[in-house]
Amino acid sequence: LAKTTQPISMDSYEGQEVNITCSHNNIATNDYITWYQQFPSQGPRFIIQGYKTKVTNEVASLFIPADRKSSTLSLPRVSLSDTAVYYCLVVGDTDKLIFGTGTRLQVFP
């Protein structure tokens, strides 16, 4: 199982773009990179996933370089409600999700 490494915490101000980088040096060919968001007292919520290059949805963008050993979650123009923990997961041929400790994002007014 690929292990991921991401910053423990990040601070930002409202309206700024936030980029959270995740390292996954041992990613396997069949693995996908998946990001979840968790608010206090709630379960995690899927936000985006990708295999390579760039993926964008209404919530975020995910950038994955050609070697796939890292990925960057980009949150455009964050607001106070984006304050949460963000988890980077590498998911392969398994039916369980393996979470790390995540990145705690604090957005200030």
Q: How far apart are CA 78 and CA 11, in angstroms?
A: 11
Strands 9-13 and 53-56: unpaired
In angstroms, give the least distance from the CB of 16 to another protein.
25
Q: Tell me whether residue 47 or residue 107 sits nearer to another protein (CB atom).
A: 47
In angstroms, give the least distance from the CB of 42 to another protein.
5
CA distances, 83 to each of 27, 30, 50, 73 (Å): 28, 31, 23, 14
Q: Tell me whether residue 32 or residue 63 sits nearer to another protein (CB atom).
A: 32
Q: Pick one of 21, 23, 32, 83: the residue that binds another protein (CB under 8 A).
A: 32
The residues binding another protein (CB under 8 A) are 32, 34, 41-46, 49, 85, 87, 89, 91, 95-102
